[in-house]
């Protein structure tokens, strides 16, 4: 596939002002009639009118109502070029498409009898010929016509302006979207659905209709999504002064969907997993995800839809900013619910976000797919919906928020909308608005958009007892990434505190300042190296750096075990307290991993157990925070830090450490499960969720150590649970502990939920991610192979693929990376099979092996032939092709 370069952008010679679409819906032969009102673009060089298309059967094309003059139209497989005289022209194009056969889930496709669309990034061209790029913004009018029995509900963007019956049991509806939009925001839904409805007033007093559309039978699972939508509306009004601009806002749940959800104007389409929740089927984490995904898509209405991207290289303009907004929203919601514990609740959210960043984005930035948050080139844009564009992109926005302050940031947002509402713009436009609103030069800051790789910040401290000063030296370095060897110094905000010997924060006074001030302040590291001298100190302080994770960097700070234990107990910054515990656990686990790899005896340092136990016993700490602090670092992150990465040795270390912490501290874990006030009847509330999370963590440790009182407790909780969080938490503890009771519990769970696809996903994921198995037990690979044949499994449903194969390839390195290469051969078979039907999903699975060069020589030897086998597969998609080619480069 050709490589597209960011710097090649040029505006199109012709744009589209209006599009009238008519769909005669039919399972295998939907006829799409499109009337385009096109105009010459005065800002572009003259040229032909260009249209994109893919997998279309073109029935007719007329220009101004006439057949085209000979030679005026040049038709290619995916491109039509039309020579036009004059400055305006009307085209009518009729195409036929086959939604039933569309297994890619891009364009118009079928799911459980209904018709749905997914057009981001380039799906609209699979519906009709169109200049399918985000800088072409047109007014859409859409008429849907279909069989009333199959699709009684006909939805599209904007406002319903007409509907009625037609002969032969068919009916129609016409929708008009008052806002010009790019084609990627077009959507239609035609299906047998019902809606939960609510009417709300916006801040300015306009009444809006909110609807959550689901299959019949799921109406009792929509309340939380609706509540989340209303909370998101209010938050955007209060925080950014942004109001819903439509009379009607719809969310539709669909069972077959490649990603999480899609922000189509006024008609958001969601993976059902991010809509449906009731206590018996959804966990606290599901409830949390629903709230944040609903908010994310809603927030796109301004950051993405009203102001959109000029081209797909600018994707982080909408995604990084919108992730930042949803993270802030969730933190505010948690803090509000927590009342006096608000700061701790915010820290827990920040910890969650940083865990995701470290587990997914740091490895990406260290591998063959490393790219800046604004990539320079791509072959397949679908491969660039990445943790870097989304999560690191959100960190870049967060740094702006930190540097400019909340008010400065808000002023920048206001200016951004005042300049660019209704436009398709670039990341430079966004940063320029921030710069202008704050009178601050952000030229150097723009390097964050251009440079790939996770920067390292090395910190050195110097204590001068004679004059009571502490000198902090920070030095930055970004390792080379593919195609980008030279790195320039970035602007890195480093939030710093100094802790006194008694554990209390010290007021900070920099040399040259008149008096001490705040206990945390943000230093700006904007050169390769800089120094700061803190004065007026009476004893050597302990530095607490990068508080709240103020920048997406790896902090390199020499700290001995005692210092980490001290910060675990005392750091006033809850994020850093957690981070100190993670660093200490990482040290212990990597040492255990090395011992396991070399066949040495394993042992856990007593000092670590003591520091860990102090956190475990500190019941003044919020349970949600304790659950985070007592959970060991993620395997993906640890493998990234292990040289060479040895998943089997690391797994041995993790199993050993988990069992030891369970065994030695068994009495504490048991006391904790008894001491925590059990929430009464289930309600989704952060405080209750924190207690449930901590109890489930205790069960994990007790089952890992096979403490009889603990395993009995897990079994009883599994049997008598009143909600999915407790039931699944107990089941996971039994399965990960490889306890004899696990098989019976898995079977009982299956019986209970065999008709509930979303719950079955949990059942598949748990078995594919099973942590431990004892000698003689079925290897997870064999179990996953067998589960492919389960009646509840389907390779054509992305949720199932992510649950079973994704959990195995990506979340279970200890079982997937087998020295005999059998895991890799299975991976190659599955990627090739998936690619034939759904390249986007196949490419996601393919990425599981991209960092293979970091593995032990034995594993590397086993991976290479399988990567080569996939690369050579006949008819390989550009999606998977790009991933494996980069991995093999």
Catalytic positions, please?
A: 297
Classify burial at 130, counting beta carbons within 10 Å of its beta carbon; exposed 0-12, middle 13-18, buried 19 or more: buried
Identify the three-state secondary structure at position 719: helix
User: Please, which of residues 379-408 interact with ligand HT7 by CB under 6 A?
Assistant: 382, 385
Which of residues 40, 133, 273, 296 is near ligand HT7 by CB under 6 A? Answer: 296
Identify the three-state secondary structure at position 253: strand
Examine residue 642 and tell whether it contacts ligand HT7 (CB under 6 A).
Answer: no
Q: Judged by CB, which is closer to ligand HT7: 123, or 453? A: 123
Q: Judged by CB, which is closer to ligand HT7: 39, or 356? A: 356
Examine residue 203 and tell whether it contacts ligand HT7 (CB under 6 A).
Answer: no
Q: Judged by CB, which is closer to ligand HT7: 111, or 654? A: 111
Task: For the CB of residue 505, give the shortest distance to Zn ion in the complex, in Å.
Answer: 37
Is-contact 579 573, C-beta < 8 A? no
* Nearest C-alpha neighbor of 177 from the set 247, 126, 95: 247
Q: Judged by CB, which is closer to Zn ion: 118, or 767? A: 118
* Nearest C-alpha neighbor of 59 from the set 96, 5, 110: 96
Examine residue 356 and tell whether it contacts ligand HT7 (CB under 6 A).
Answer: no
Q: Judged by CB, which is closer to ligand HT7: 259, or 615? A: 259
Task: For the CB of residue 127, give the shortest distance to ligand HT7 in the complex, in Å.
Answer: 15
Residue 692 interacts with, from ligand HT7, Zn ion, none (CB under 5-8 Å by kind): none
User: Please, which of residues 812-871 interact with Zn ion by CB under 5 A?
Assistant: none
**Peptide bond preceding 807 in cis form (omega within 30 of 0):** no
Task: Return all residues near 216 (Cβ < 8 A) that are at least 6 apart.
Answer: 192, 193, 194
Task: For the CB of residue 95, give the shortest distance to ligand HT7 in the complex, in Å.
Answer: 21
- At 109, list the tokens: 């496709």
Task: For the CB of residue 470, give the shortest distance to Zn ion in the complex, in Å.
Answer: 43
Rg of the chain over Cα atoms, rounded to whole angstroms, equals 28
Task: Return all residues near 644 (Cβ < 8 A) that are at least 6 apart.
Answer: 854, 855, 856, 857
Rounded-to-integer distance, Cα 218 and Cα 226, Å: 13
- At 621, list the tokens: 């700490």
Name the one residue in this structure whose structure tokens are 């480093």. Answer: 494
Is-contact 259 385, C-beta < 8 A? yes
Residue 118 interacts with, from ligand HT7, Zn ion, none (CB under 5-8 Å by kind): ligand HT7
Cβ–Cβ contacts within 10 Å for residue 868, how many?
13
Partner residues linked to 63 by β-bridges: 66, 91
Stretch that binds ligand HT7, among 40-48, 256-264, 354-362, 688-696 (CB under 6 A): 256-264
Q: Judged by CB, which is closer to Zn ion: 449, or 855? A: 449
Residue 120 interacts with, from ligand HT7, Zn ion, none (CB under 5-8 Å by kind): ligand HT7
Phi, psi of 762 (to 5 degrees): -65, -40
User: Please, which of residues 116-135 interact with ligand HT7 by CB under 6 A?
Assistant: 118, 120-121
Examine residue 349 and tell whether it contacts ligand HT7 (CB under 6 A).
Answer: no
Classify burial at 55, counting beta carbons within 10 Å of its beta carbon; exposed 0-12, middle 13-18, buried 19 or more: middle
Rounded-to-integer distance, Cα 434 and Cα 440, Å: 8
Q: Judged by CB, which is closer to Zn ion: 120, or 288? A: 120
Calculate the CA dihedral of residues 671, 672, 673, 674 and round it to 10 degrees. Answer: 50
Task: For the CB of residue 394, give the shortest distance to Zn ion in the complex, in Å.
Answer: 10
- At 729, list the tokens: 């938490």
Examine residue 228 and tell whether it contacts ligand HT7 (CB under 6 A).
Answer: no
Examine residue 263 and tell whether it contacts ligand HT7 (CB under 6 A).
Answer: yes
Is-contact 451 465, C-beta < 8 A? no
- At 634, list the tokens: 């993620």
Examine residue 535 and tell whether it contacts ligand HT7 (CB under 6 A).
Answer: no
Q: Terminal CA-to-CA distance of the chain, rounded, Å?
A: 16
Examine residue 326 and tell whether it contacts ligand HT7 (CB under 6 A).
Answer: no
Sign for the CA dihedral angle at 620, 623, 626, 630 comes to positive
Stretch that binds ligand HT7, among 260-268, 283-291, 466-474, 691-699 (CB under 6 A): 260-268
* Nearest C-alpha neighbor of 63 from the set 95, 89, 24, 86: 89
Name the one residue in this structure whose structure tokens are 């205790």. Answer: 698
Which of residues 297, 365, 761, 850 is near ligand HT7 by CB under 6 A? Answer: 297
Q: Judged by CB, which is closer to ligand HT7: 78, or 722? A: 78
Residue 259 interacts with, from ligand HT7, Zn ion, none (CB under 5-8 Å by kind): ligand HT7
Strands 469-477 and 456-464 come out as antiparallel
Task: For the CB of residue 18, give the shortest distance to ligand HT7 in the complex, in Å.
Answer: 24
Task: For the CB of residue 296, give the shortest distance to Zn ion in the complex, in Å.
Answer: 5
Helices (H) and strands (E) in the chain, counts: 29, 30
Task: For the CB of residue 343, give the shortest distance to ligand HT7 in the complex, in Å.
Answer: 29
Rounded-to-integer distance, Cα 325 and Cα 322, Å: 5
| Number of residues near Zn ion (by CB under 5 A) | 2
Q: Judged by CB, which is closer to ligand HT7: 245, or 263? A: 263
Rounded-to-integer distance, Cα 583 and Cα 642, Å: 14
User: Please, which of residues 451-470 interact with Zn ion by CB under 5 A?
Assistant: none
Q: Judged by CB, which is closer to ligand HT7: 261, or 580? A: 261
Sign for the CA dihedral angle at 199, 201, 202, 204 comes to positive
Examine residue 319 and tell whether it contacts ligand HT7 (CB under 6 A).
Answer: yes
Closest-by-Cβ residue to ligand HT7 is 259
Per DSSP, 668 falls in state H
Q: Judged by CB, which is closer to ligand HT7: 40, or 300? A: 300
Residue 9 interacts with, from ligand HT7, Zn ion, none (CB under 5-8 Å by kind): none
Residue 121 interacts with, from Zn ion, ligand HT7, none (CB under 5-8 Å by kind): ligand HT7
- At 246, list the tokens: 């439509």
Is-contact 48 81, C-beta < 8 A? yes
Half-sphere exposure of 531 (CA within 13 A, CB side): 8
Residue 446 interacts with, from ligand HT7, Zn ion, none (CB under 5-8 Å by kind): none
Examine residue 262 and tell whether it contacts ligand HT7 (CB under 6 A).
Answer: yes
Task: For the CB of residue 389, give the shortest distance to Zn ion in the complex, in Å.
Answer: 10
Task: For the CB of residue 445, give the shortest distance to ligand HT7 in the complex, in Å.
Answer: 24
Classify burial at 38, counting beta carbons within 10 Å of its beta carbon; exposed 0-12, middle 13-18, buried 19 or more: buried
Task: For the CB of residue 263, give the shortest distance to ligand HT7 in the complex, in Å.
Answer: 5
Stretch that binds ligand HT7, among 154-162, 295-303, 428-436, 720-728 (CB under 6 A): 295-303
Task: For the CB of residue 384, give the shortest distance to Zn ion in the complex, in Å.
Answer: 13
User: Please, which of residues 427-456 interact with ligand HT7 by CB under 6 A?
Assistant: none
Sign for the CA dihedral angle at 612, 618, 621, 624 comes to positive
Helix 708-720 × helix 724-736 angle, to 10°? 140
Q: Judged by CB, which is closer to Zn ion: 371, or 700? A: 371
Strands 207-215 and 170-176 come out as unpaired
Task: For the CB of residue 303, give the shortest distance to Zn ion in the complex, in Å.
Answer: 9
Sign for the CA dihedral angle at 694, 698, 704, 710 comes to negative
Stretch that binds Zn ion, among 181-189, 192-200, 316-324, 719-727 (CB under 5 A): 316-324
Q: Judged by CB, which is closer to ligand HT7: 291, or 319? A: 319
Which of residues 24, 72, 259, 609 is near ligand HT7 by CB under 6 A? Answer: 259
User: Please, which of residues 90-119 interact with ligand HT7 by CB under 6 A?
Assistant: 118
Stretch that binds ligand HT7, among 77-85, 212-220, 293-301, 538-546 (CB under 6 A): 293-301
| Number of residues near ligand HT7 (by CB under 6 A) | 15
Question: Which stretch of DSSP H or E encloses residue 408?
Answer: helix 393-420
Binding site for Zn ion (CB under 5 A): 319, 322
Binding site for ligand HT7 (CB under 6 A): 118, 120-121, 258-259, 261-263, 296-297, 300, 319, 382, 385, 840
């Amino acid at each position: 596939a050709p490589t597209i370069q960011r710097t090649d952008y040029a505006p199109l010679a012709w744009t589209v002002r209006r599009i009238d679409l008519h769909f005669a819906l039919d399972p295998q032969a939907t006829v799409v009639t499109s009337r385009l009102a096109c105009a010459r673009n005065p800002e572009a060089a003259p040229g032909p009118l260009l249209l994109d298309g893919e997998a279309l059967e073109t029935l007719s094309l007329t220009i101004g109502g006439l057949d085209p003059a000979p030679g005026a139209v040049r038709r290619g497989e995916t491109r039509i070029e039309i020579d036009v005289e004059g400055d305006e022209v009307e085209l009518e194009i009729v195409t036929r498409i086959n939604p039933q056969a569309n297994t890619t889930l891009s364009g118009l496709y079928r799911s459980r009898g209904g018709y749905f669309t997914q057009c981001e990034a380039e799906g609209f061209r699979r519906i009709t010929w169109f200049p399918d790029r985000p800088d072409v913004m047109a007014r859409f009018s859409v008429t849907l016509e279909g069989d009333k029995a199959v699709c009684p509900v006909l939805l599209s963007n904007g406002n319903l302006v007409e509907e009625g019956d037609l002969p032969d049991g068919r009916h129609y509806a016409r929708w008009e979207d008052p806002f010009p939009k790019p084609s990627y925001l077009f959507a239609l839904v035609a299906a047998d659905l019902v809606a939960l409805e609510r009417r709300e007033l916006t801040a300015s007093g306009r009444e809006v209709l909110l609807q959550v559309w689901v299959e019949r039978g799921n109406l009792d699972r929509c309340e939380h999504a609706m509540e989340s939508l209303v909370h998101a509306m209010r938050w955007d009004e209060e925080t950014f002064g942004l109001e819903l601009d439509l009379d009607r806002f719809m969310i539709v749940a669909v069972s077959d969907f490649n990603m999480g959800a899609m922000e189509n104007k006024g008609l958001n389409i969601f993976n059902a997993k991010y809509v449906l929740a009731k206590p018996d089927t959804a966990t606290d984490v599901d409830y949390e995800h629903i709230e944040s995904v609903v908010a994310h898509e809603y927030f796109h209405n301004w950051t993405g839809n009203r102001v959109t991207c000029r081209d797909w290289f600018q994707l982080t303009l909408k995604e990084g900013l919108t992730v930042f907004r949803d993270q802030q929203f969730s933190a505010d919601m948690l803090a509000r619910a927590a009342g006096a514990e608000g700061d701790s609740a915010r820290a827990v959210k920040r910890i969650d976000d940083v865990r995701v960043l470290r587990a997914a984005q740091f490895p990406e930035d260290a591998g063959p797919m490393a790219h800046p948050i604004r990539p320079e080139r791509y072959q397949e844009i679908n491969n660039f919906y990445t943790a870097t564009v989304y999560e690191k992109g959100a960190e870049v926005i967060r740094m702006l928020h930190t540097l400019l302050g909340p008010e400065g940031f808000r002023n920048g947002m206001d200016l951004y909308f005042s300049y660019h509402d209704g436009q398709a713009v670039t990341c430079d436009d966004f940063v320029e608005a921030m710069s202008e609103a704050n009178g601050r030069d952000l030229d150097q800051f723009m390097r964050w958009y251009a440079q790939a790789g996770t920067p390292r910040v090395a910190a050195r401290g110097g204590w001068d007892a004679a004059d009571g000063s502490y000198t902090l030296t920070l030095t930055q370095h970004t390792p080379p990434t593919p195609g980008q060897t030279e790195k320039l110094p970035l602007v890195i905000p480093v939030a710093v505190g100094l802790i006194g010997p008694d554990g209390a924060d010290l007021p900070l006074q920099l040399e040259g300042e008149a008096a001490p001030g705040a206990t945390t302040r943000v230093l700006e590291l904007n050169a390769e190296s800089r120094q700061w001298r803190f004065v007026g100190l009476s004893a050597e302080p302990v530095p607490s750096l990068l508080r709240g994770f103020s920048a997406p960097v790896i902090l390199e700070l020499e700290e001995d075990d005692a210092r980490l234990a001290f910060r675990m107990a005392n750091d006033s910054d809850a994020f850093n307290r957690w981070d100190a515990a993670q660093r200490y656990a990482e040290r212990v686990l990597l040492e255990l991993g090395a011992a396991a790899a070399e066949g040495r005896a394993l042992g856990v340092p007593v000092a670590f157990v003591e520091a860990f136990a102090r956190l475990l016993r500190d019941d003044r700490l919020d349970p949600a925070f304790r659950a985070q602090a007592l959970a060991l670092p993620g395997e993906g992150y640890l493998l990234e830090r292990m040289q060479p990465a040895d998943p089997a040795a690391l797994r041995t270390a993790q199993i050993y450490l988990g069992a030891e912490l369970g065994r030695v501290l068994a009495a504490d874990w048991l006391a904790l499960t008894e001491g925590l006030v059990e929430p009464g009847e289930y309600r989704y509330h952060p405080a209750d969720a924190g207690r449930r999370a901590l109890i489930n963590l205790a069960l994990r440790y007790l089952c890992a150590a096979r403490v009889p009182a603990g395993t009995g407790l897990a079994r009883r909780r599994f049997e008598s649970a009143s909600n999915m969080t407790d039931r699944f938490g107990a089941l996971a503890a039994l399965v990960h502990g490889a306890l004899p009771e696990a098989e019976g519990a898995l079977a009982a769970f299956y019986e209970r939920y065999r008709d509930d696809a979303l719950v079955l996903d949990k059942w598949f994921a748990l078995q594919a991610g099973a942590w431990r198995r004892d000698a003689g037990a079925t290897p997870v690979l064999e179990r996953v192979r067998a589960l492919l044949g389960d009646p509840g499994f389907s390779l054509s449903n992305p949720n199932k693929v992510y649950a079973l194969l994704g959990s195995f390839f990506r979340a279970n390195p200890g079982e997937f990376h087998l020295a005999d290469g059998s895991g890799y051969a299975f991976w190659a078979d599955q990627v090739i099979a998936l690619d034939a039907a759904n390249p986007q999903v196949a490419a996601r699975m393919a990425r599981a092996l991209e960092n293979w060069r970091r593995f032990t020589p034995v594993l590397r030897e086993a991976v290479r032939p399988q990567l080569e086998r996939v690369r050579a597969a006949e008819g390989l998609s550009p999606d998977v092709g790009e991933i494996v080619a980069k991995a093999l480069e």
